[in-house]
Amino acid sequence: MVFRKIVIAVALAVVTAVSAGAQAAQFDRCSIGGKYLVRSVLPYSFYEDAGYTAYREFRGADVFVVAQPGLTREWLQRVLTYQIANGECDFGVHDVSVSVLSAGGGFSVRLIGRDEKAAGVILQHAQLLVK
């Protein structure tokens, strides 16, 4: 009886360790967080002007990637769009739009979802990129 409990406990520990390692390795193939250093991740919102009223919409994550020699905004946009389409960068939802802007000593990578629920999932996944 005690032996069975020990075997079950060891099996659960191994499964937990393997799944945690898989989650940590989730971005190994993705350029941001791997090849390109991520400095910070913030929520991304924009203001929508609807005539007489304006409102703020939460749409995803704003990831700051540190500039490197030879890295351009256009290249980063192309690589991330390709990697997201191929599933190399998994942000938890389908249809993630990418917009890259120059921002001082790096690039502002905006990962945009179609609604607030998708935006929350994208933000949670993007926060795993910060080291």
pLDDT digits (tens, 9 = 90+) for 9-46: 444 454 444 444 444 444 467 888 888 999 999 999 98
Backbone angles phi, psi at 6, to 5 degrees: -65, -45
Q: Is the pLDDT of residue 3 over 60?
A: no
Give the per-residue pLDDT at 25.
40
- Listed by start position, the domains of the chain span 28-127
pLDDT of residue 24: 42
The per-residue pLDDT for 33 is 83
For all residues of the chain together, what is the average pLDDT?
82
Helical H runs in the chain?
A: 2-24, 73-85, 116-127
pLDDT band (50, 70, 90) for residue 2: low
Q: What beta strand segments (E) does 28-91 contain?
A: 38-50, 53-66
Separation of alpha carbons 81 and 98, rounded Å: 6
Most confident region among 22-31, 51-60, 107-116 by mean pLDDT: 107-116
Residue carrying structure tokens 């939802």: 93
**Distance between CA 95 and CA 73 in Å, rounded?**
21
Angle at 99 between CA 53 and CA 60, to 5 degrees: 60
pLDDT the model gives residue 50: 78
